Chains A and B, each alone.
Chain A
Amino acid sequence: MQSPPVNPTLSVSPKRVEPRCVEPKCVEPKCVEPKCVEPKCVETESLMSDFVQAFGLALHLVASFDPELVDIVGRSLYVSLSAVAIASFIGLPLGAVVAVYRFPGRRAVVVLLNALMGLPPVFVGLMVYLMLSRSGPLGPLGLLFTPTAMIIAQAILITPIIAALAREIVRGLYDEYREQLCSFGARPRQMVLTLLWDARVGLSTAVMAGFGRAMAEVGAVLIVGGNIAYATRVMTTAIALETSKGNLALALALGLILVVIALGVNAVAAMLGGASTRRYA
């Protein structure tokens, strides 16, 4: 209680970060005497030490199963995987339908889907906030500042990505197998299902692209989640918070962990994909 320096969150941070405050003292004389010729090298030096520190911190946080880190990583995965599940559920069939069915305005839909891939997260966050705010149409649900609100925002963000990529992939396959499918007398609905199944390897890339965007996204979840400790804090908002506290090494360490998680998830997907493509070889 006496000196909970900086923040009682992430218990390692104060101890590890303090050395940086000490550093300027020993660097100072160098920089003052020759009228600051070397401030640049001083800066890179301490920035480098941030990197070194970050690696150490990241290892320490992971190795010690820091409870807050576990909480944050778990929530990040829960939110983003749920969003990906919802977005895939909508986006994959949507993309396949747009690829196979012919209807007026199909091109417009394709252009729209492609354009929506670039939706700015803060914009989506703001829209979802206005919907879920107590003063908004869905206010009575009381969803604002909950993980559910974050899932909704991320699902909106990545559904167009998954749908547009799925359309592209299914379209390629459709062009290849159209005649064959027609000769079986397949109806468009059956074609959609068949093509979705046969394109599953390619589609997993679309899903991973969506997942990557969801995990990396900060603007929307910050607005609708509020970055509340132990309630809506995720990896990216924690990184933003630690940066704003000036805990650059800790922020960097969290970033490294996020990268490793993304790598891990993608590696798993690649292995699954590899296993099922071998069949075609």
Chain B
Amino acid sequence: MRWRVAISAMLVTVTVMAGQAMAEDRHIVLASTTSTENSGLLGAILPLFRAESGVEVRVVAVGTGQALRLARNGDADVLLVHHRPSEEAFVADGFGVERHEVMYNDFVLIGPRDDPAEIAGLDDASGALARIAEAGAVFTSRSDNSGTHLAERALWDAAGVVLDGASRDWYREMGSGMGATLNAAVAMDAYVLADRATWVSFANKRDHTVLVEGDPALFNQYAVILVSPDRHPHVRAEDGQAFIDWLLSNEGQAAIAAFRVDGQPLFFPNAGGQS
């Protein structure tokens, strides 16, 4: 008898807690890349949206691959990611309503200042990677299916470098986020591909610096997608769409442009494109 009472008491507690979780004020879950969160962009612009709409945006910052996975399962309302082919597949498969381009920045190739592979100043990113491979200089890779990782793999393909057993000596698959990979690259004197926003706001640069930048292949487009309420009826579509509309509006775009770290803009609004 006592057990039954105890168990039902526990069930009641759980239900009450669940009820509280649901009764909280208006919020949406945004699955985003680590770059937008760790650079401080979302921390700077989300309060503006909240002040206007009363909607709190809860950010789950993970790699693009994991963000898409969360959204496919219906565990996020809105996606903010940066890998066009995966995004288009997400929408084509019926999980997303529509893909809207929001802003861009670029990837940069970072390495130790003494630059053993001598890539500094090259304007061709895949050429630089080819040199790193040739020199057998240590390169740390995200290897986590994030947007940055997928972009990096595309650059290796373009460079004609095959990453196989023989590359294990110098190609280190970190399997972790951008920040952890940067920490590792700094500690290992390794080269690494990173998005500029995370790099500029990264506080543990030590002796590492940007070596290659400006190649059009390093372009990095961010897009926002509402998770389809047809596929996942619980999606907070109205508030989610309001957030997307705000991001694409003049006001949201201006907020993105106004965000700076050390006086340097990290994201450049370019709403308008969609697919």
* A interface residues with partner B (beta carbon < 8 Å): 1-9, 17, 20-21, 24, 31, 36, 39, 43, 46, 86, 89, 133-136, 139-146, 148, 226-229, 231, 241, 243-248
Contact = CB atoms under 8 A, between A and B. Distances in A.
A83 to B, nearest CB: 13
B258 A146 contact: no
A73 B234 CA distance: 31
Given A146-B21, A244-B183, A21 B205 contact: yes
A133 B75 contact: yes
A80 B65 CA distance: 30
B29 interface: yes
Contact of B34 (A136, A141, A244): A244
A194 to B, nearest CB: 16
B263 interface: yes
Given A227-B60, A244-B183, A4 B40 contact: yes
Contacts of A245: 38, 179, 201-203
A227 B203 contact: no
A134 B73 contact: yes
23 contacts: A1-B44, A3-B261, A4-B44, A5-B40, A7-B43, A7-B201, A8-B40, A8-B44, A17-B203, A24-B205, A24-B206, A36-B114, A135-B74, A140-B234, A143-B18, A148-B17, A148-B21, A226-B58, A229-B59, A245-B201, A246-B202, A246-B204, A248-B204
Contacts of B262: 3, 5
A142 B74 contact: no
Task: Tell me what chain A mostly uses at the interface: helix, strand, loop, or mixed.
Answer: loop
B75 A3 contact: no
A88 B93 CA distance: 46
Interface string B110-150: 00001000000000000000000000000000000000000
A137 B217 CA distance: 43
A75 B183 CA distance: 28
Given A134-B234, A139-B74, A243-B180, A228 B201 contact: no
What is the interface of chain B mostly: helix, strand, loop, or mixed? mixed
Give the size category of B's interface with A.
35 or more
Contact of B182 (A4, A140, A246): A246
Contacts of B58: 145, 226, 228, 231
A142 B40 contact: no
Contacts of B73: 133-136
B5 interface: no
A39 B38 CA distance: 29
B22 interface: yes
Interface in B60-78: 60-61, 73-75
B178 interface: yes
Given A245-B179, A247-B203, 10 more contacts: A3-B262, A7-B40, A8-B44, A46-B206, A134-B232, A134-B234, A141-B18, A228-B29, A245-B202, A246-B183
A244 B43 contact: no
B252 interface: no
Given A6-B261, A134-B75, A145-B29, A246 B21 contact: no
Interface in B193-213: 201-207
Interface string B242-267: 00000000000000001111110000
B43 A8 contact: yes
Nearest to A149: B21
Contact of A148 (B18, B59, B201): B18
Contact of B180 (A6, A46, A89, A244): A244
Most buried by A among B59, B114, B204, B232: B204
A190 to B, nearest CB: 13
Contact of B207 (A24, A227, A231): A24
Nearest to A240: B180
A146 B17 CA distance: 10
Nearest to A17: B203
B177 interface: yes
B6 interface: yes
Interface in B1-42: 6, 10, 14, 17-18, 21-22, 29, 34, 38, 40
B21 A142 contact: yes
A20 B203 contact: yes
Nearest to A232: B58
Contact of B75 (A39, A144, A241): A144
A129 to B, nearest CB: 8
Contact of B59 (A143, A228, A244, A247): A228
Contacts of A43: 206
A248 B182 CA distance: 13
